[in-house]
Amino acid sequence: AQSVSQHNHHVILSEAASLELGCNYSYGGTVNLFWYVQYPGQHLQLLLKYFSGDPLVKGIKGFEAEFIKSKFSFNLRKPSVQWSDTAEYFCAVKRPHGGGNKITFGTGTQLKVEL
Partner 1 sequence: DTAVSQTPKYLVTQMGNDKSIKCEQNLGHDTMYWYKQDSKKFLKIMFSYNNKELIINETVPNRFSPKSPDKAHLNLHINSLELGDSAVYFCASSQEQGGGETQYFGPGTRLLVL
* Positions that interact with partner 1 (CB under 8 A): 30, 32, 34, 36, 38, 42-46, 49, 51-52, 88, 90, 94, 96-97, 100-105, 107-108, 110
Q: What angle do CA 59, 81, 38 make, to 5 degrees?
A: 60
φ, ψ at 25 (rounded to 5°): -130, 165
C-alpha–C-alpha distance, residues 23 and 6, integer Å: 5
Q: Between residues 18 and 58, which has the closer beta carbon with respect to partner 1?
A: 58
N- to C-terminal Cα separation, the chain: 41
Tell the smallest beta-carbon distance from residue 80 to partner 1 (Å). Answer: 25
CA distances from 29 to 6, 24, 60, 87, 90 (A): 19, 14, 27, 30, 21
Q: Between residues 81 and 91, which has the closer beta carbon with respect to partner 1?
A: 91
In this structure, which amino acid lies at residue 11? V
Tell the smallest beta-carbon distance from residue 58 to partner 1 (Å). Answer: 15
Q: Between residues 16 and 46, which has the closer beta carbon with respect to partner 1?
A: 46
Q: Between residues 63 and 90, which has the closer beta carbon with respect to partner 1?
A: 90
